[in-house]
Amino acid sequence: MLRNIPRPEDFALLSVQYLAQAIDHILNTEKNFGDFTLSDTEYTDEPWEHHQGILGNSLIMLFLSIENYLKSEICKVSPLLLISNEPSKWGVKNVDKDFEDQFFHPFDDLIVIYQEIKGVAFDAALKSDFEVLRKKRNKCVHGIQREKMTPQYVLDAMRVFLVKIWGVSWLQSFREILLTEDFYGLDSKDCEDLKILEYFTLFEKYFSEDDFRDLIGMPSRGRRFFCPECETKKIEAGLIYDADYALHNHANQEVECYLCTSSTPITYKQCVSPTCQCDIICLSEESIALELDTCLHCWQDQT
């Protein structure tokens, strides 16, 4: 009998962990270049020419994340679909054998099995993207990567995987599994939100507004506002990146944050700042994060 048969969530956990590592390799390096480099939209890839190994590691982590995501989905149908060798070669008859001692399908085969069980067909562009990724990953693993790699390439490949394969639920799964260290002296949910704020800042640097919104499941239209909770937390943590990932929901008279997922009631009142045209104000009694009524466009207190 086969023992230690894995569960889909085992592979999902690995997929999220590898994804976080793929992002962290790029994020932490850019932070070492300087805090403003991370949020700078006028940039060159020049500093990265000396950190090609880190990009290679990031790409390998991304590849592992995709591979494990495919395995987790296939495993939902049957873990046996992951094994490539014939059952007659699984081991000595009537003797227990460990699942992990079997041979598993390579990436190309996992892609085919995934499409079969999902009843989907990848378009030519996606197949080509995966083929390029697979070849680059092999070159990185074997240390023969000659052409220069850019963070743009790795992050674009990641975005394509998340948007076209995983879908918008990736962020929720990511949130459920992401384990952050208590860097900022805040509780773990707050730390996670601040980590995701850094990820969003990195994504915004490299992606167009439309692609970024697509990635995080935010509608393509609608002005963005500060989330009172996220912006306050980020100020307390000493981060410089804007936490403006909330959209106005007119029907409910509130702003909904795509970072921390909270909703905050708002009041329509002209901002006191003469240069601000906004009338979306959060009253201090409506938010535990605020001590004063605050404009959610310019963050000016309304005293």
- The residue ranges that bind Zn ion (CB under 5 A) are 227, 229-230, 257, 259-260, 271, 273, 276, 278, 295, 297-298, 300
Instruction: Say whether 104 sits in a helix, a strand or coil.
Output: strand
Residue 67 vs 229, nearer CB to Zn ion: 229
How far is Cα 296 from Cα 145, in angstroms, rounded to an integer?
47
Residue 21 vs 262, nearer CB to Zn ion: 262
Q: Least separation, in Å, of the C-beta of 228 and Zn ion?
A: 8
Q: Least separation, in Å, of the C-beta of 230 and Zn ion?
A: 3
Residue 39 vs 263, nearer CB to Zn ion: 263
**Residues whose CB falls within 8 Å of the CB of residue 5, separated by 6 or more in sequence, listed in order:** 79, 99
Q: Least separation, in Å, of the C-beta of 236 and Zn ion?
A: 13
Q: Which two tokens stand for residue 217?
A: 């499941």
Rg of the chain in Å (alpha carbons): 23
Residue 115 vs 273, nearer CB to Zn ion: 273
Q: Least separation, in Å, of the C-beta of 213 and Zn ion?
A: 16
Cα-Cα end-to-end distance for the chain: 72
How far is Cα 201 from Cα 204, in angstroms, rounded to an integer?
5
Residue type at 193 in one-letter notation: D
CB 267 within 8 A of CB 289: no
Q: Considering only CA atoms, which of 166, 170, 158, 149 is closest in space to residue 130? A: 158
Residue 145 vs 300, nearer CB to Zn ion: 300
Within 10 angstroms of residue 177's Cβ, the number of other Cβ atoms is 16
Residue 158 vs 260, nearer CB to Zn ion: 260
Instruction: Say whether 37 sits in a helix, a strand or coil.
Output: helix
CB 174 within 8 A of CB 12: no
Q: Least separation, in Å, of the C-beta of 226 and Zn ion?
A: 9
Residue 123 vs 301, nearer CB to Zn ion: 301
List phi, psi (to 5°) of 301: -75, 150
Q: Least separation, in Å, of the C-beta of 252 and Zn ion?
A: 16
Q: Which two tokens stand for residue 89?
A: 């070669």
Q: Least separation, in Å, of the C-beta of 283 and Zn ion?
A: 14
Q: Least separation, in Å, of the C-beta of 198 and Zn ion?
A: 14
Residue 216 vs 259, nearer CB to Zn ion: 259
